[in-house]
Amino acid sequence: MAIKKYKPTSAGRRNSSVNEYSAVTKKKPEKSLLKPLKKKGGRNHSGKITCRHRGGGHKRMYRLIDFKRSKDNMTAEVIGIEYDPNRSCNIALVQYEDGEKRYILAPVGLEPGTKIVSGDKVEPRVGNCMPLSHIPLGMEIHNIEMRPGQGGKMVRTAGAAAKLGGRDGNYAHIILPSGEMRMINIACRATLGQVGNVEHQGVRLGKAGRKRHLGRRPHVRGTAMNPVAHPMGGGEGRRAGGRQPCSPTGKLSKGGKTRQKKKASNKMILRRRRNVRHGQLTL
């Protein structure tokens, strides 16, 4: 899939590029797999803004994606590859032998007419889904479950791919795109191949209007505000803030703990993800 650039007829055109979506073969979505998607504008159930700079954007319909791939030992044929406005990767519409249609994440190399299947002992081909206990070592995988039967949770973004490093007892060692190595139960399922739409990261929006179409509102720095609007605002002339970076409510932006104790899975992490801090690479 290629990235297209236009003639620089304006400042926005000069700095922007678009995805050609040459892999997309089907334009209209399957109506039976659509669901209305309500906009929240970054607000919770009380109407309070909990996520700033959200709102507006083009209207979308949610595509129901089959992350579980639970229809075992039944061949499905790829009808077409579609664009999904709710995610960075493309999706594939497949039809099973009994006539049921489902959406799956489209990996690289999956084309209309391709046959795919899920189950315990299936051929290790791109698009097939099987437990980690039966996947050959060293293969690229995506849409990985964290608990058996839960459905794929990890490695679902465009161009992402994890690697099955090894197996030790009831656990498999997965090397994630971030460099983190994690243990996952071998009964968990994963789909073979790399997630499609690899060129997504190379697209430049080029202007603020395209960001608004995605539902992102302007992001104003706290130091550019008045002191009545932000703790870091005000001051004579340009200032660096005069205090630690914080939110409009005073909550510190850096150094806070984000991992919840009850949901922590530290014991499953064999190697932390790569992190560049103070000029040093920590693993």
Domains of the chain, residue spans: 22-39+54-200
Strand partners, 281: 276
Task: For residue 119, count CB atoms less than 10 angstroms from its CB and return exposed for 0-12, middle for 13-18, buried for 19 or more.
Answer: middle
Query: What pLDDT score was predicted for residue 1?
Result: 58
> 43: which 2 tokens?
């607000």
Answer positive or negative: Cα dihedral of 146, 150, 152, 153. Answer: negative
Q: Over the stretch 163-189, which tens digit does the pLDDT of each residue have? A: 999 999 999 999 999 999 999 999 999
Question: What residues have CB less than 8 Å from 113, skipping those under 6 apart?
Answer: 77, 78
Query: What pLDDT score was predicted for residue 281?
Result: 44
d(CA 183, CA 161): 16
DSSP secondary structure code for residue 32 in this structure:
G
Q: Provide the CB-side half-sphere exposure for 5 (13 A, CA).
A: 9
CATH superfamily of 22-39+54-200: Nucleic acid-binding proteins (2.40.50.140)
Ranges of residues in the chain with a pLDDT under 50 are 276-283
pTM: 0.88
Query: What pLDDT score was predicted for residue 216?
Result: 96
Which amino acid appears at position 207 of this protein? K
Task: For residue 184, count CB atoms less than 10 angstroms from its CB and return exposed for 0-12, middle for 13-18, buried for 19 or more.
Answer: buried
Query: What pLDDT score was predicted for residue 263?
Result: 65
